[in-house]
Structure 1
Amino acid sequence: MSETGARGRAERPHEAVHAGEHGARTRCLPEPWMCDVFHLDGSLRDIRVLDTTRGEWIAVLDRLRVVADETEVEHPYPQLDPVHPAFDDLFRAWADDPEGEATAFSFRARFGSVWFFALPCFEEEIEFSVWPEDVLDGAGVAAVLRFLVEIASTSQRRALLTGEIVQYHPEMPTLISHDPVTGVTSHI
């Protein structure tokens, strides 16, 4: 029999078996708070940096190309390099073209076994998503933390990991954050 936690859902042990695209895998997260942050509820987790500019987006994507284990870009612009477009050209085609916002681009970065992906919607907010199902163990959590630190340090703005939402609201709980000014990473 499981107990209900403060958030009204059943408490989960550190280890839980779940079915993913590669079959059943065992999850073993090293700390109890990680089970709450990466609760398998079928929704994404969003990683956000608020009040940003196009230049900060570009700096973050350029940095991720350097430090990630692998990156991928997909876009519909025939005038740009299909595999490795310059991000300033990509943003110009996307945001400055009157029809650009209707034809978005996507970016993915892999740290370890965890993929982070972005479909830029607004220049004013950097947003990446990650599936909690990909965070299987301490190495997966470390990848998420490293990603948070990289984008916060590059943008010089606080990076937040939240539940999946369309638009950020200050009242929404932050699951993990990294402040590049203080160097502090905190969690719920």
Structure 2
Amino acid sequence: MATAYLGAVGDEREGLVESTHEDVHAGEHGTRVRCLPEPWMCDVFHLDGSLRDIRVLDVTRVEWIAVLERLRAVADETEVEHPYPWLDPVRPAVADLFRVWADEPEGRGTSFAFRARFGAVWFFALPCDEEEIEFSVWPEDVLDGAGVAAVLRFLVEVATASRRRALLTGEVVRYDPGMPSLISHDPVSGLTSHI
């Protein structure tokens, strides 16, 4: 169990508030306490300076398109950035993004960015591989139970849209099937599991 004490420097615990299952985060907006309701959440979203990745393995363009279209329908907000002047600058068709990126000579060597917000948490993808869906999230954005719920909802939406198991992992360049997943959701069984 993680315990943090916040108070005046030099106080011998007088006037200090004990907080359980929390991380103390010293960010650009000052020190704040992150209240995660369960101990396992502190392990999953430990502030270590690295991202957490949401992955779906062994996919095709079809699953990528299904996931991005589903996220556009259910997320609180989505954004797309792309370098292709002949596509809609704000809301290009997802199938067109993949066609230009992967199939047209003008699109090769470039990519596009897709972001989706659930609650206060943003998830972002910069597709570089058609065979693996990968989104990233900053663990410091997961401040409380509502943030964890946003991550779980995102994971379920991605798994449901792709019809494949979605994994939340530590940040790595390429996922190895031998790596443990921090959280996973299987759309076939409907089960979500964590470390």
Fold match, TM over 0.5?
yes
Calculate percent identity across the aligned residue pairs.
82
Provide the C-alpha distance between the structure 2 equivalents of 1:150 and 1:94, rounded to a whole number of angstroms: 24
Opposite residue 20 of structure 1, the aligned amino acid is: G
Higher Cα Rg, which structure:
2
Which of 111, 125, 144 in structure 2 is aligned with 1:118? 125
Please list every run of 5 or more consecutive structure 2 residues that lacks an aligned counterpart in the other structure.
3-19
2:144 pairs with 119, 125, 137, which one? Answer: 137
Comparing 93-102 and 143-152, the one that deviates more: 93-102
Correspondence for 1:73: 80
Asked if 1 retains the 8 angstrom alpha-carbon contact of 2:24 and 2:33, the reply is yes
Q: Aligned pair 1:102/2:76, yes or no?
A: no
1:30 to 29, 34, 37: 37
TM-score by length of 2: 0.88
TM-score with structure 1 setting the length: 0.91
SS of 1:157 mapped into structure 2 = coil
2:176 corresponding residue in structure 1: 169
Task: Give 1:110's aligned amino acid.
Answer: R
How far does residue 99 in structure 1 lie from its aligned partner after superposition?
Answer: 4.6
Q: Which runs of 5+ in 1 are unaligned?
A: 3-12
Deviations 1:107-156 (A, max 9, x none): 00000000000000111111000000000000000000000000001110
Please tell me the root mean square deviation across aligned C-alpha atoms, in Å: 1.5
**Equivalent position amino acid for 2:142 in 1:** V
| 2:26 aligned with 1:19 | yes
Q: Is the 8 A contact 2:23 2:42 kept in 1?
A: no
Deviation at 1:102, TM superposition (A): 1.5
Give the match's secondary structure for 1:102: coil
Q: For residue 22 of structure 1, report the CA deviation from its aligned partner.
A: 3.5
Q: Which residue of 1 aligns with 2:185?
A: 178
